[in-house]
Every structure is written in structure tokens, then in C-alpha cells.
Amino acid sequence: MILDTLHRAGRYDALHPLFSRAFTALTREDLASLPEGRHTVCGDDCTLVISREGGKGKERAVLESHRRFIDVQMVLSGSDLIGWRPAAECRTVVRAYDAGRDVALYGDAPLVWCAVAGPLFTVFFPEDAHAPLGGEGPLLKAVMKIRV
């Protein structure tokens, strides 16, 4: 997991060939005005998902992990509270890995909670189980889905 500010995102470009394009997409001036849903950045290998939804609170936020995609999450409006735990330490499987949706869900509790609001971003690799939407109130988020 990475938690950092967007103006320092360039230091992570060497970790993946599409990180530079993903972080450039997150600096678009019109990002907050894009419609909800999936937007292509680099074919199916790098997409941007805009979502407008409310936080669920820590008690209802569920740990999830992905195998084929890295999540880069950034809050555009509001504040999120995101839980984290190593996926290898998750013992309570709520929903087994679904390859079509690239997600597994867990009933374990996060080890750490991070408050995330702009200009902060998080990066969750396949080994990082994460529980987004742990905050409360309305959220506008941008999530980059980057193929591993």
C-alpha cells in the first residue's frame, strides 16, 4: 500500500509502466465533472472509474482484494476512511475470488485505517486487502484500475 500526495506521484512511475499515465489522468482539470462510471485511459489496461456515493462507516466497510488490477484511489470531494490488511492475513472469506469482477471479499477487520482526502492518493496492490468507504458522508472518488 502507498499513501502519498499527488504532487509526489512521479516518484512511483518506475513501479509500473502505466503509473505515469494513470497519475496524469488524475491531474485532469475536469476530473470532478466527469460522469460516473468507467472511462478509458489506456485500453483495458488502465481505466478511470468515477463514483459518487456515501461512506458506509467503519462497521460496514468490507475488505476486498484484486488479483488482476492495482487500485489507485483518490478522493475528489469529501473524505474517505480506508482500511488496510495484508490479503495473505485475511482468514474469513465472505465472497470467494470472482475472476469476472476481479474481487474477493473478507470479513476480517482492517489492521490500519487511513483518512484519505485530496490531494492524497492510495495505491493498493494485489497483496493489499482494502476496505474503502469507511468514512461517512458524500464522496466523489476517482479510482484508477491498472492491469498488473
What does DSSP say about strands 63-65 and 2-5: parallel, antiparallel, or unpaired?
A: unpaired
What does pLDDT average to over the chain?
Answer: 97
pLDDT at 93: 98
Q: Cα–Cα distances in Å, from 48 out to 32, 59, 74, 122?
A: 12, 27, 11, 14
The position carrying cell 492510495 is 122
pTM as predicted: 0.96
Q: Which CATH superfamily groups domain 2-147? A: YhcH/YjgK/YiaL (2.60.120.370)
Q: How does residue 18 score in pLDDT terms, banded at 50, 70 and 90?
A: very high
Segment 91-107 mean pLDDT: 98
Q: How much is the average pLDDT of 123-127?
A: 98
pLDDT, average across residues 38-57: 97
Region 51-63 average pLDDT:
96
**pLDDT at residue 78 is higher than 90:** yes
pLDDT value at residue 38: 97
Dist. CA 89–CA 72, nearest whole Å:
21
Does position 97 have pLDDT exceeding 90, yes or no? yes
Q: Are 46 and 146 in contact (CB under 8 A)?
A: yes
Q: Print burial letters for 39-68: b (CB count within 10 Å at least 16), e (below 16).
A: eebeeeebbbbbeeeebbebeebbbbbbee
User: CA 142, CA 112: separation in Å to the nearest integer?
Assistant: 22
Instruction: Read off the pLDDT of each residue in 115-142 and give the average, rounded to a whole number.
Output: 96
Judged against a pLDDT cut of 90, whether residue 118 lies above it is answered with no
The full set of domain ranges for the chain reads 2-147
pLDDT-derived band at 133 (thresholds 50, 70, 90) equals very high
- Can you tell me the mean pLDDT for 81-95? 98
Find, among 129, 134, 128, the residue nearest to 114 by Cα: 134
The DSSP code for 8 is G
